[in-house]
Structure 1
Amino acid sequence: MSKLTQAVVMLLFGGAILRASFTDLYLRYVKEGLRPFLIGAGLLLVAAAVMTLWYSFRSPSTETDHDHHEPRVGWLLILPVLGLLLVAPPALGSYAASQAGSVTAQSPESDYPPLPEGSPVDVGLVDYASRALYDAGKSMENRDVRLTGFITTAPDGKPMLARMVLSCCAADGRPIKIGLTGRAPIDVPADTWVAVVGAYSPEKGKDPVNNVDVAYLEVKTWEEVPEPKQPYA
């Protein structure tokens, strides 16, 4: 590949990374805390591209003679970069959740802290699952909670609430799944984002994919909501 081709690819790729980093698009790929590293990587790629272009135009005769013997297929590397610039991929959803086993809720080393004031109180799906499975709901006693996630379908056809959990990036995303009882959102299409309000349910289930315990929520009300800016837990 010629230096000119390398420079163009690096410039476009660096620009795509910076574009994603300065908007919410990067949240479709990595965790929020990795934004500074993406910006740094994008700037380095742009700087390297500029230096390569400068060197290429500074020695045009040598570069032209070298390019004459190189296949033009190298320019096809621009296509995936243009895809990154022009196409915003959807966040991982119900299909990914149905194919992967639920993450294991972690048992704390000490008691769970009380929930914040307010009713209902917003609780993350991982936090709810941990409190429900390892605290038997004691820290949520007589409290209504609100969980936000997308609808996925259990093997028995019943709706479940899910959200993808990232360790680093979307490639390692795994779901946290919550079973729904009571006034669950029946006949709601998969991947629909909803906010469900309810209370702790002692019911438990098993994720058939990896046999992990699944907590349940007794749903009182629910409403459809837009996909959040940060779709991952």
Structure 2
Amino acid sequence: MHATIGLLLVPALALGLSPAAQAQDAQATPRPAEAAGTLSTDTISVYPPVQGPSTWDRFGLSHPSGHHRVFSNWGYLNDWSVDIYQNPGAAVVSPFGSRTAAGHPVTVRVVTVVPGCATGNLEDGGWRIGLEATNAATGAVIARADVMHVDNKPAAIAVGATVGPWTHLGTTGRFRYSSCYQVNGDSGAHIHLEVINRTRYSCYIARGSNAQLGDETVIGRVGTQNTGPVQAC
């Protein structure tokens, strides 16, 4: 089946993480109820990181309840992950909403720009772009998201850049088959998204595989006070 439908396999090495990084992630300890700053109670919606129609967990292998998490922020393994599918060439954008639930403006800046695979070769899996969302009214850092398998990244998308909800981070792409990107067809092209709260834990919106998404479909929330990772909202 894997040779014909072009889907992502799900072993721990699927994103090409180095052994040292895997060991660090495996030893990540639960976060305390509060980290630096005050505990957030004002949430931000998370949307698909692909502009236009996209698909949640197209082949039933990347649901947040069991999908691998391979990146860390602030010394902790990210809260949850999912693959959002769209054929090559779709615009990739920030997943964070522009306002909090209380109506405060959200500022999003780029904090990571690196080749996504351990080989350092973009042909193996494109870019990993890390974004940080801040409540602009209070200055509180709320969350981060890692957007992986980005192709055609503009030069302006660099560490320190501020991006809006429709700023193009690049496009979806089709990369060569490797341990980092085990995809065999355009229908398997996807963005691997990981999300983490600054304090306590974020959550995802539970839905079945192959669910269709649009620009306004909320797929998760950050700034929530969930008690652990990999929890539905």
TM-score (ref. length: structure 2) = 0.24
Q: Which structure has the highest helix share of the two?
A: 1
Whose RCO is larger (CA < 8 A, sep 6+)? 2
TM-score (ref. length: structure 1) = 0.24
